[in-house]
Amino acid sequence: MKRITAPVISNRSLMPETYLLEVDAPPIAAEARPGQFCMVHCGEGYFLRRPLSIHRAADGLAFWLRVVGRGSAALAGLHPGDKVDIIGPLGNGYSVRPGARSLLLVAGGMGAAPLAFLARKALREERSVTLVIGGRTRTQIYPVEMLPAGLHVVVVTEDGSQGEKGLLTDFLPGLVRNADQIFSCGPVAMYRAMRQIVVDRPVQVSMEAWMGCGMGACYACTTLTRQGPKQVCRDGPVFDIQDILWDEI
C-alpha cells in the first residue's frame, strides 16, 4: 500500500455524470489486483477520502467514477496536470481459482468498474470470460467498445434501450450453467436475488460500505458475516456470497 500525489493524465466524461479518471501512479498500479480499491482525496475542504475501485492499472491508474455527491463532483472537475492524493491499493480483491477456466462476471451499474479490470486480467490468462452488465437504461451501461476483444458481453436494460430487456438477474439462470466461478459487483438488492438463483457455484461479491479511513482503523465499514463482524475495507471488499448475513445487514 502506497500514498502518492499523482498527476491527472486525463479525465473524460464518456456517459452522463460518469468519468474515466486516469492518473499517473506507477507504484500503486504495479501492485493493484482486480477488486482492490484506493482511498482518493477530493481536494481542499474535504476531510474524508472516497473509496474508488481500481478500474485499470496499465500505463496509468484509472477509476470509473459516477457523480453522486460533493466529493465525486470535485473529482469529476479535475483537469490534466492537477494533483490528486491517493492511498492504495487497498482491500483483498477477487480471488480466481487457478483451475477455473470459465468465469461469469455480473455487473450492476457502476459494478463494471472493478469487473472490467478482472476481465482483462482473466483474458490474458486465457480463461473464457462472460461479462453481464445491467442498468436501468442505456446511459447507465459501461461503453461496450471500451471492453477488451475476446470478452463475451451481455447487456441488459430495464427499459430495453440497449441489449436484452429486463432485470439482469432474469438472465442469470441461463448464464451460470457454464461458469466455474462467478464474480459480482453491484447493489445489495442484486446480491440478495443472486443468492436465490445461484445455489451451486462459488460467488464472490464486492460489498459497498460507508468508509472513513479505508484501512481498518475506524470501524465505519463493519458488516456482519458468519465469521463475525468484518471490516469491508480490510477483510473485503470482496466476500463469498454465502458468508454475508444478508438478513442482518
Q: Which of 68, 189, 217, 245 binds ligand FES (CB under 6 A)?
A: 217
Q: Note whether 52 binds ligand FAD by CB under 6 A.
A: yes
Q: Which of 29, 122, 131, 211 binds ligand FES (CB under 6 A)?
A: 211
Using CB under 6 A, which of the segments 47-55, 93-101, 156-164, 176-184 binds ligand FAD? 47-55
**Omega prior to 89 cis, within 30 of 0:** yes
Q: How many residues bind ligand FAD (CB under 6 A)?
A: 21
Q: Which of 190, 203, 233, 244 binds ligand FES (CB under 6 A)?
A: 233
Least Cβ distance, residue 238 to ligand FES (angstroms):
14
Q: Which of 1, 123, 167, 209 binds ligand FAD (CB under 6 A)?
A: 209
Q: Note whether 1 binds ligand FAD by CB under 6 A.
A: no
Q: How many residues bind ligand FES (CB under 6 A)?
A: 12
Using CB under 6 A, which of the segments 2-10, 152-160, 189-197, 217-225 binds ligand FES? 217-225
Contact footprint for ligand FES (CB under 6 A): 211-214, 216-221, 231, 233
Contact footprint for ligand FAD (CB under 6 A): 37, 50-53, 63-66, 68-72, 110, 113, 208-211, 237
